[in-house]
């Protein structure tokens, strides 16, 4: 699959056991989490440090062989799996995690460190990490930087971009850029780390990150609230936002809850069923629970609510929301479209989606959930395998009409390349292509991701 001279060079760099050519072993790297995207790699290479990454990229560049970078392989848009005999560079061995720098509230982490490993590490030192998401056991620092991951704490701490103070990365020609000093103020020219955040592996391989840490959230309380519709959810959010202690606001709907309950055997969270559910969490010192409950009791949108102020109770409420992705995947291979609209247009989007999708395929089964505060809805469509392109077109055009984004937090990947122009102007796309050509002139890094191959 791979020319002998390149194979020999890669083995000399990373060692025989870390150049995987066996088809069965490669297969686990060649299909993505959603099972919608797959391909064949020439081989899987697992470098152990930045020097090895640089040498691997230099050899591949010399041989003109494209490289796809993969972290935890939990991405949703097919950006981390090969298409056609690329070298797959896995970052799993870049798992160096440095001691927490308490004075600056920062930590340096290798690209292959998983989110849960990072969280456990920094919590032992009395800190927390500002981004959290349900794929925490597998998603890596490098993948989260490369996708500018969002998740459930954006409301409080911002997305991954807001956590990145510096990066170390390797360009396609093997040159290494490093900004890991942790300086908060450092205005000397273009901010390359910012450019690489959200670049989806198309500009460089990220090898390490210098990350901002946040104080632990303190005492928490969570409430699962039944409301009438998406408009009531938005209205409720506007009434609790000024508590100042809000740490999360998630939304899901009756269809999703039914699916989660069938998949997990969880009991009904509330005595009656509601069309829409909002999961709110507050966190602060001192205990914010009493003020939270009082505020909820004053909100006319709340039809019923269950509140948990102990950890076990909170975890079981979160399970209703976090089990959505796995419950949907247990039903089949869904078409997944992660979109955002201005919060004022959220209810219109939720109301219009069923009609837009049914017009393409009446048998489709739609499950929506998402991050309420950012107007971010994960659109999951089951039974749409045969008309995925048409459904994508219908949903993304609707989102564009509502001034939204075709990608809220998962990225463009391979999945949405054809629709980038719905969200970015020709001038912006031209500028992005110019940056790509400058940093990766042979177009060897993640070809077909973000832009089409031309």
Ligand X SMILES: Cc1cc2nc3c(=O)[nH]c(=O)nc-3n(C[C@H](O)[C@H](O)[C@H](O)COP(=O)(O)OP(=O)(O)OC[C@H]3O[C@@H](n4cnc5c(N)ncnc54)[C@H](O)[C@@H]3O)c2cc1C
- Cβ neighbour number for residue 265 with a 10 Å cutoff: 7
**Interface characters, 31-50, with ligand X (x: CB under 6 A):** --x-----------------
Q: Residue 59 Cβ, how far from ligand X at the closest point, in Å?
A: 18
What residues numbered 264-323 form the site for ligand X, per CB under 6 A?
none
Binders in 150-179 for ligand X, by CB under 6 A? 150-151
Provide the minimum distance between the beta carbon of 352 and ligand X in the complex, in angstroms, as a whole number: 23
Q: How far is the CB of 408 from ligand X (least distance, A)?
A: 8
Residues 205-234 interacting with ligand X (rule: CB under 6 A) = 205-206
Q: Which is nearer to ligand X, 70 or 245 (CB)?
A: 70
Burial of 29 (0-12, 13-18, 19+ CB in 10 A): buried
Among 111, 209, 398, 406, which residue interacts with ligand X (rule: CB under 6 A)? 111
Distance CA 226, CA 214 (A): 31
Residue 9 lies near ligand X (rule: CB under 6 A): no
Closest CA to 336 of 416, 279, 277: 416
**Member of 9, 61, 106, 147 binding ligand X (CB under 6 A):** 147
With CA atoms as reference, report the closest residue to 175 among 153, 192, 199, 198. Answer: 192
Query: How would you label 119-140 residue by residue, b for 16+ Cβ within 10 Å and e otherwise?
Result: bebbeeeebbbbbbbbbbeebb
Verify binding: residue 193, ligand X, rule CB under 6 A: no
Let me know: does 243 contact 295? Beta carbons within 8 Å: yes
| Rounded distance between C-alpha atoms, residue 45 and residue 90, angstroms | 6
Cβ proximity to ligand X, 245 vs 407, nearer residue: 407
Contact 128, 213 (CB under 8 A): yes
Angle 375-377-378 from CA coordinates, rounded to 5°: 155
In the DSSP assignment, the letter for residue 445 is B
Contacting ligand X within 420-449 (CB under 6 A): 446, 449
Among 144, 192, 339, 415, binds ligand X (CB under 6 A): 144
Under rule CB under 6 A, residue 71 binds ligand X: yes
Residue nearest to ligand X according to CB distances in the complex = 143
Among 39, 47, 72, 256, binds ligand X (CB under 6 A): 72
Residue 80 in tokens: 């981390």
Q: Measured from the CB of residue 209, what is the shortest distance to ligand X in angstroms?
A: 9
Q: What do you get for the CA distance between the two ends of the chain, in Å? A: 25
Q: Minimum distance between the CB of residue 450 and ligand X, rounded to whole angstroms?
A: 9
Give the nearest distance from C-beta 77 to ligand X in angstroms: 7
Among the listed ranges 8-16, 62-70, 397-405, 422-430, the one in contact with ligand X (CB under 6 A) is: 62-70
Residue with tokens 């935890």: 72
The correct pick among 325, 361, 373, 380 for binding ligand X (CB under 6 A) is 325
**Does 76 engage in binding with ligand X (CB under 6 A)?**
yes
Tell me the closest approach of the beta carbon of residue 105 to ligand X, in angstroms: 22
Position among 41, 106, 108, 140 found at the interface with ligand X (CB under 6 A): 140
- Least Cβ distance, residue 440 to ligand X (angstroms): 12
Distance in angstroms (rounded) separating the CA atoms of residues 382 and 385: 8
Q: How many CB atoms lie within 10 A of CB 43?
A: 23
d(CA 168, CA 192) in angstroms, rounded, equals: 10
> d(Cα 66, Cα 72) in Å, to the nearest integer?
20
Minimal distance in Å, beta carbon 75 to ligand X? 3
CB-nearer residue toward ligand X: 92 or 360: 92
Binding window for ligand X (CB under 6 A); candidates: 143-151, 178-186, 187-195, 381-389: 143-151
As a whole number of angstroms, the distance between CA 275 and CA 57 comes to: 51
User: Which one among 41, 50, 74, 340 touches ligand X, defined by CB under 6 A?
Assistant: 74
What is the full DSSP assignment across 104-160? TTEEEEETT-BHHHHHHHHHHTT-B-S---TTTTT-BHHHHHHHT---TTHHHH--H
Task: Select from 11-19, 142-150, 238-246, 306-314 the region that touches ligand X (CB under 6 A).
Answer: 142-150
Cis peptide leading into 286, omega within 30 of 0? yes
Q: Is 75 in the site for ligand X (CB under 6 A)?
A: yes
Q: Are 208 and 111 in contact (CB under 8 A)?
A: yes
- Which residues make Cβ contacts (< 8 Å) with residue 215, sequence separation at least 6? 127, 128
Question: In the complex with ligand X, which residue's Cβ is closer, 134 or 343?
Answer: 134
In the set 39, 79, 256, 447, which binds ligand X (CB under 6 A)? 79
Residues 383, 3: Cα–Cα separation, whole Å: 41
Q: How would you class 24 by CB atoms within 10 Å of its CB: exposed for 0-12, middle for 13-18, buried for 19 or more?
A: exposed
Task: Please report, as ranges, the residues that interact with ligand X according to CB under 6 A.
Answer: 33, 68-76, 79-80, 91, 111, 133-135, 138-140, 142-144, 146-147, 149-151, 200-201, 205-206, 325, 409-410, 413, 446, 449
């Amino acid at each position: 699959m791979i020319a002998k001279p390149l194979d020999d060079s890669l083995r000399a760099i990373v060692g025989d056991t870390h150049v995987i050519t066996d088809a069965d072993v490669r297969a686990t790297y060649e299909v993505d989490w959603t099972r919608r995207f797959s391909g064949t790699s020439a081989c899987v290479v697992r470098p152990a440090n930045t020097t090895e990454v640089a040498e691997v990229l230099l050899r591949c560049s010399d041989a003109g062989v494209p490289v796809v970078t993969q972290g935890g392989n939990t991405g949703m848009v097919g950006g981390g799996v090969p298409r056609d005999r690329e070298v797959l560079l896995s970052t799993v061995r870049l798992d160096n995690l440095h001691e927490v720098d308490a004075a600056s509230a920062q930590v340096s982490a290798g690209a292959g460190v998983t989110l849960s490993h990072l969280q456990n590490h920094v919590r032992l030192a009395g800190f927390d990490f500002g981004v959290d998401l349900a794929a925490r056991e597998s998603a890596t620092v490098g993948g989260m930087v490369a996708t500018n991951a969002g998740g459930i704490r954006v409301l409080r701490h911002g997305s991954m971009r807001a956590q990145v103070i510096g990066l170390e990365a390797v360009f396609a020609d093997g040159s290494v850029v490093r900004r890991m000093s942790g300086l908060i103020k450092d205005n000397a020219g273009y901010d390359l780390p910012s450019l690489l955040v959200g670049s989806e592996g198309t500009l460089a391989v990220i090898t390490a990150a210098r990350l901002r840490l946040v104080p632990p959230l303190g005492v928490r309380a969570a409430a699962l609230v039944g409301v009438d519709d998406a408009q009531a959810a938005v209205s409720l959010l506007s009434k609790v936002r000024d508590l100042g202690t809000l740490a999360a606001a998630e939304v899901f709907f009756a269809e999703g809850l039914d699916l989660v309950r069938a998949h997990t055997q969880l009991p009904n969270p509330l005595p009656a069923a509601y069309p829409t559910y909002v999961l709110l969490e507050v966190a602060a010192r001192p205990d914010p629970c009493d003020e939270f409950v009082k505020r909820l009791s004053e909100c006319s949108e709340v039809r019923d609510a269950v509140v948990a102020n102990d950890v076990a109770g909170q975890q079981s409420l979160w399970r209703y929301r976090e089990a959505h992705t796995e419950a949907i995947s247990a039903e089949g291979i869904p078409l997944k479209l992660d979109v955002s609209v201005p919060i004022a247009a959220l209810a219109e989007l939720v109301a219009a989606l069923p009609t837009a999708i049914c017009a393409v395929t009446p048998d489709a089964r739609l499950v929506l959930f998402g991050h309420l505060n950012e107007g971010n809805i994960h659109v999951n469509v089951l039974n749409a395998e045969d008309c995925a392109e048409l459904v994508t077109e219908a949903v993304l055009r609707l989102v564009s009409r509502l001034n939204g984004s075709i990608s809220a937090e998962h990225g463009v990947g391979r999945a949405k390349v054809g629709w980038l122009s719905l969200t970015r102007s020709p001038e912006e796309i031209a500028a992005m292509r110019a940056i790509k050509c400058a940093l990766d002139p042979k177009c060897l890094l993640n070809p077909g991701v973000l832009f089409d191959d031309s």
